Amino acid sequence: MRSVTDKRPLTHLQRLEAESIAIIREAAAEAERPVMLYSVGKDSAVMLHLAMKAFYPAPPPFPLLHVDTTWKFQEMYEFRDRITAELGVELIVHQNPECVELGINPFTHGSSVHTDMWKTQGLKQALDKHGFDVAFGGARRDEEKSRAKERVFSIRSASHQWDAKAQRPELWRLYNVRKSRGESIRVFPLSNWTELDVWQYIHQQQIPVVPLYLAAERPVVERNGTLIMVDDDRMPLEPGEVPVMKKVRFRTLGCYPLTGAIESDADELTLVIQEMLLTTTSERQGRVIDHDSAASMEKKKQEGYF
C-alpha cells in the first residue's frame, strides 16, 4: 500500500486505480440512471471494489445488475449474495422471463442460443425495463485484438447497437458522457488493465473472489478434451459417463456447463498468479498447447454482454 506521506510518482497499479475511480465518478456524475453490470467474476470484483472506493464514505450511487442465466455455479450465487449483503449495495437480478418459460439451457438449445437469449437479450431487457442509460462493464482492452481500440465510453443506439462510425474520439481524461434520447453508454473502467494487473490488484487489495478460481477437488467429466464440473443434478450425463474428483480450478467463470476447468494445484491466489505467468512463458518453449475452452468462453461472455 502507498504510505500516507509518500510523494513519489504513482506505481502502475495506483495509476490504474486512480484512473478507474475517476472514470466511475465521471460517468455517475453525468448519467441519469447508471448501473454496474456485475457478473460475479474477478473483473466484476475489482470493478465493485473500485466503485466502493470512488464514493467512500458514501455507497456507490447506483445498483448492481446481474443478468442471470440460472446456470451459473452454485458457488457464484452464494458468493454474489454474501458480498452484496456485506457491502450493503443494491443488487438487481434479471432473468429473461422468456428463457425461464421455455427452459432455455445449453444442453438442449446449444451454447449460442443459450448465451444469446439469457445474456444478450436479457441484458437489453433489463436496461430497458429499468431505464438505465449508463452501464459499467468490466471488459478490458487486452482481452482480444478487436477490443484494443474500444473506447472507455462506448455509445449505443436506442436498440443497443454498437456503431463503429459513431464512436467518439477520446482525448486526455475528458470523456463525453452526453447522449441523445434513447442512446445509452457502456463504460469500461478497467479498459487499461491487463489480466495480470487484475490479479495483482486482487492480491494487493485482498479483494474476495469466488473460490472457484482456486484449485480444489471437484467432480468433473471430460468432454471433447474439456473438463466440465458437474455442479448440480441438472447436468445430463452421457451413458457410461461417471464424474471423477480432480483438483481443478477455473480461469474464467460463466455457466458451469460451458466453462472448462484446468487441472491445477494452485490453491492460493499467489499460486494462481504464478501458474498463469509460468504457463505463458513455458508454452513459448514449445509445450503441448492447452486449448482450454475457458478462453473462448471469456470471449463469448464479451460478445454476449457487449
Partner 1 sequence: MSGDLLATDIEAYLDAHEQKDLLRFITCGSVDDGKSTLIGRLLYESKLIFDDQLAALEADSKVSGTQGGDLDLALLVDGLAAEREQGITIDVAYRFFTTDRRKFIVADTPGHEQYTRNMVTGASTADVAVILVDARKGLLTQTRRHSYLVSLLGIKTVVLAVNKMDAVGYDQSVAAAIDADYRQFASGIGLDDVTVIPISALRGDNIIETGPNLSWYDGPTLLEYLETVEPVGAATGGPMRMPVQWVTRPDPSFRGFAGQLVAGSVAPGDAVRVLPGGQTSLVERIVTADGDLDVAVAGQSVTLTLADEIDVSRGDVLAAAAEPPAVADQFETSLVWMSDQPMLPGRPYLLKIGTRTVGVSIAQPKYKINVNTMEHTAARTLELNEIGVCNLNLDRAVPFDPYEVNRDMGGFIIIDRLTDVTLAAGMIHFALRRADNVHWQSVEVHKEARAAQAHQKPCVVWFTGLSGSGKSTIANLLEKRLFADGRRTYLLDGDNVRHGLNKDLGFTEADRVENIRRVAEVSKLMVDAGLIVLVSFISPFRAERRMARALLEEGEFVEVYVDTPLEVAESRDPKGLYRKARRGELVNFTGIDSPYEPPEDPEIRVDTTTMTPDEAADRVLRVLRERAILPSAGG
Residues 19-78 that bind partner 1 (CB under 8 A): 19, 21-22, 25-26, 28-29, 52-59
Q: What does the DSSP 8-state code read for residue 220?
A: E
Minimum CB distance to partner 1 smaller for 116 or for 183: 183
**Part in contact with partner 1 (CB under 8 A); list of ranges 40-48, 92-100, 107-115, 173-181:** 173-181
Rule CB under 8 A: say whether 158 interacts with partner 1: no
Q: How near is the Cβ of 236 to partner 1 at its closest, in Å?
A: 30
Rule CB under 8 A: say whether 186 interacts with partner 1: no
- How many helices, marked H, and strands, marked E, lie in the chain? 10, 10
Minimum CB distance to partner 1 smaller for 85 or for 166: 166
Inter-residue contact 300 to 115 (CB < 8 Å): yes
Rule CB under 8 A: say whether 295 interacts with partner 1: yes
* Set of cell numbers at residue 257: 456447463
Provide the 10 A C-beta neighbour count for residue 278: 10
Closest CA to 35 of 55, 60, 64: 64
Binders in 187-216 for partner 1, by CB under 8 A: 191-192, 194, 196-197, 200, 203-204
**Part in contact with partner 1 (CB under 8 A); list of ranges 93-101, 120-128, 167-175, 228-236:** 167-175
Inter-residue contact 51 to 20 (CB < 8 Å): no
Going by C-beta distance under 8 Å and a sequence separation of 6 or more, which residues neighbour residue 211?
75, 79
Q: H or E element: which one contains 111?
A: helix 111-115
Judged by CB under 8 A, the number of residues near partner 1 is: 75
**Part in contact with partner 1 (CB under 8 A); list of ranges 36-44, 107-115, 166-174, 251-259:** 166-174
Rule CB under 8 A: say whether 81 interacts with partner 1: no
Going by C-beta distance under 8 Å and a sequence separation of 6 or more, which residues neighbour residue 12?
197
Q: H or E element: which one contains 43?
A: helix 42-55
Rule CB under 8 A: say whether 16 interacts with partner 1: yes
Rule CB under 8 A: say whether 157 interacts with partner 1: no
Q: What is the DSSP string of 250-264?
A: -SS-SBGGG-EEEE-
Inter-residue contact 64 to 38 (CB < 8 Å): yes
Binders in 122-141 for partner 1, by CB under 8 A: 141
Strands 260-263 and 226-229: antiparallel
Rule CB under 8 A: say whether 113 interacts with partner 1: no
Minimum CB distance to partner 1 smaller for 74 or for 146: 146
Minimum CB distance to partner 1 smaller for 17 or for 43: 17
Q: H or E element: which one contains 247?
A: strand 244-249
Rule CB under 8 A: say whether 171 interacts with partner 1: yes
Rule CB under 8 A: say whether 285 interacts with partner 1: no
Minimum CB distance to partner 1 smaller for 174 or for 242: 174
**Part in contact with partner 1 (CB under 8 A); list of ranges 63-71, 79-87, 105-113, 267-275:** 267-275
Minimum CB distance to partner 1 smaller for 159 or for 206: 206
Q: Which residues pair with 68 in a beta bridge?
A: 95
